Amino acid sequence: MASRADINAALGAEIQHQPVPRAGPVPKVAAPSKAARRPAPHRFKKPAVRGLRPAARWTYDESPALENGLSFRRWKKQTANSDSKPVDRFGRYNVKLDVPEYNDEIYAKHLTNPEWTKEETDSLFALYRECNGKWPVIIDHYSGSTERTMEDLKSRFYSISATILSINTPITSMTATDYGMYEMLNNFNAKQEASRKKLAEGHLYRRQNEVDEETVLLSELQRIMMNQATLDNEREELRRRLDHPIASNSYQYGTSQALTTFWQQLLAADRMKKNQRLRPTGNPTFDGMAGVASTSASRSSHAGLQDAARRNARESLPSAAAPQSGLSNELSKADLLRFGVVQSHEKLPSGVTFASDKLTKPRIAKSTVQTDKIAAILTHIGVPDLIALPTPPVVEQFESIMSKVHALIDLRKVAEKEEQELRVRSAEAAS
C-alpha cells in the first residue's frame, strides 16, 4: 500500500524538505477508504515552494598568466563572503618539467650513439618537453626517419639523462637521492620492459576459459597449501607414535637377515636360562637351530655378542624403555649440560638428595668418640667445617679425604694396640 511517505521517497530527496504530513499510525479501518478515494498516485508534482531559493550568482577567478601568454578564468559560485582575493589555487598543479639540457659540445663528447642522429635526439627532447614527459603522448607524436618503439625512446632518453646527471655532479659527490636517480636511469632495461608490457597486454586479452582455468588452478594450489600443514602435523604425530630408533652405523641389525640372526641368538640365550621369557615363533626359518648342538655352535661363535644381546633383551623387555630412550635422545649433549641432566649407570638413590649432604654426613660416625676423632683430624689438616661449594669434583675430593681419614683412624687404633702389647712384652722381657 503506497502511503504518502513512500511516494516522497520515490520522488527523491528534492521534495523531501517541503512540509509533509507524516503518515503516522493510521487507524486500520480508515486506511482502505483513503486509498479508494485517491484515484492515482501523484506524478512529479512540482513543489509548491519552487523558486523560493535565490538564483546562484557566479564569479570567477582570473588565473595568473601562463608562460605562453594564455590566461583563463575559473568560474565558481558566489557565496556570502566571497570577497576572497584571487588565490592561485591550482598553481601547484602547473608542474614544470625538469628536462636535462645539453649543448653541441657535450653531445659530441658523451652522447653520440650510432643508432641516433643528433637531429633525432633533439626532436625527442623537444617532444618530451612539449608533451610534459607523458610517454604515451610522445610515442604518438614521434615521427622520425626510423620506426622506434616507446622502449627505444625511453632508453635513449634515460641514458642521456643519466650521462648528463653524472656530468653535472660526479658520482663521488652525488647525494643519496641523486645517486638513486642515477641508478634507476642506468638500470632501465628496454627488453625487459617490452616483455613486461607484452605480458601485461596478453593478460589483458585473456579469454574467459583461460581466466577460469587459472582461477581453478589457484584455488587448487590454495587447497593444497592449506592441507599441507595438517598433513605435516599428522605425519609428525605418526612419526612420534612410532618412535622409531634412528638407524645409525652402530645399529647392526639393519636387515631382516641380521634381525633373524639376532632373534636366534636371543632365543638361544634364553634357552640357557631357568625361566624362559621368549617363545619360539614356531617357524623353523626364523627360529633356526632347534637342536642343542647347533645352539652350542652358535654360542661359541658369538660368545661376546651373546652377552650384549642378553643385556639388550633384558633392557628392551620392560615397556617403559622405549619412550624413555626417546626422552633422553631429544636433548643434545650441550643441552643436557645446560639443564644439569646427568645420565648415570649406577644405582641412584630415590627421591631428592642434596650434594652437600655428602660433605656433612660422613663426618658423623656412630659413636661420639669416633665423630670427635674425625673432626679433630679434619681440623688438623685444614678442612673447613662448612664447604660452601658441593660440586661433584669437590665431593669426590672430600670422599677421598674421608677414606684416608678412616684409614688413618684404623692405623692409629692398631698402633694403640700394638703399643700396649709392646709395653707388656717389654715388661715381660725385663722381668
Partner 1 sequence: MPAATSKRVRGTQVTRHFIIGNTACDLPAPGYPNPPPENHSKGWTVYIKPLPNGPDMCTWLKKVQFKLHHTYNDASRTIEAPGPFEVKETGYGEFGIEIRLYFAQEAGEKAVYREHYLVLAPYGSEEQQAKQKSQNLVVAERLETIEFNEPTIDFYKALTNEDQFNWLKVKQGQGKGKKPTYVFKGNADPTAQLPEKALENGKPAEGGLGAGGAWSSQFERQVLAQLQQSTAVLDQMLDEEKAMAEERRKKLAAVGATVGAAAK
- Point out which residues bind partner 1 (CB under 8 A): 320, 323-324, 327-328, 330-331, 335, 337-345, 348-356, 377-378, 380-384, 386-391, 393-394, 397-398, 400-401, 404-405, 407-408, 411-412, 414-415, 418-419, 421-422, 425-426, 428-429
**71 — phi, psi (to 5°)?**
-145, 160
Q: Contact, 402 vs 362, CB < 8 A?
A: yes
Could you give the CA distance from residue 124 to residue 419 in angstroms, rounded to a whole number?
125
Tell me how far, at minimum, the Cβ of 372 lies from partner 1, in Å.
17
Cβ nearer to partner 1, comparing 15 with 409: 409
Tell me how far, at minimum, the Cβ of 324 lies from partner 1, in Å.
6
Tell me how far, at minimum, the Cβ of 376 lies from partner 1, in Å.
12
Tell me how far, at minimum, the Cβ of 378 lies from partner 1, in Å.
8
Tell me how far, at minimum, the Cβ of 339 lies from partner 1, in Å.
5
Q: Residues 6 or more apart from 124 whose CB is under 8 A from it?
A: 138, 142, 144, 153, 156, 157
Tell me how far, at minimum, the Cβ of 266 lies from partner 1, in Å.
22
Tell me how far, at minimum, the Cβ of 410 lies from partner 1, in Å.
10
Cβ nearer to partner 1, comparing 25 with 384: 384
AA letter at 255: T
Cβ nearer to partner 1, comparing 106 with 395: 395
At residue 52, the 3 state secondary structure works out as coil
Tell me how far, at minimum, the Cβ of 239 lies from partner 1, in Å.
19
Rg (CA), the chain: 52
Reported for 348-355, long-range contacts at CB under 8 A and 24+ positions apart, including other chains, are: 354/390, 355/390, 355/391, 355/392, 355/395
**73 — phi, psi (to 5°)?**
-110, 140
Would the CA dihedral through 331, 335, 337, 341 be positive or negative? negative
Cβ nearer to partner 1, comparing 215 with 379: 379
Cβ nearer to partner 1, comparing 181 with 336: 336
Cβ nearer to partner 1, comparing 96 with 347: 347
Q: 4: how many CB neighbours lie within 10 A of its CB? A: 16
Reported for 57-63, long-range contacts at CB under 8 A and 24+ positions apart, including other chains, are: 61/86, 61/87, 61/89, 62/86, 63/88, 63/90, 63/91
Q: Residues 6 or more apart from 260 whose CB is under 8 A from it?
A: 285, 286, 288
113 DSSP assignment: B
Cell of 76: 565558481
Tell me how far, at minimum, the Cβ of 356 lies from partner 1, in Å.
6
Tell me how far, at minimum, the Cβ of 396 lies from partner 1, in Å.
9
The residue assigned the cell 639523462 is 161
Q: Contact, 375 vs 365, CB < 8 A?
A: no
Interhelix angle for 392-430 vs 368-381, to 10°? 110
Cβ nearer to partner 1, comparing 149 with 426: 426
Tell me how far, at minimum, the Cβ of 422 lies from partner 1, in Å.
6
Cβ nearer to partner 1, comparing 110 with 404: 404
- Give the C-alpha distances (Å, rounded to integers) separating 66 from 90, 255, 286, 385: 12, 93, 104, 102
At residue 395, the 3 state secondary structure works out as helix
Cβ nearer to partner 1, comparing 55 with 430: 430
Cβ nearer to partner 1, comparing 7 with 387: 387
Query: Residue 77's beta-bridge partner residues?
Result: 58
Cβ nearer to partner 1, comparing 177 with 344: 344
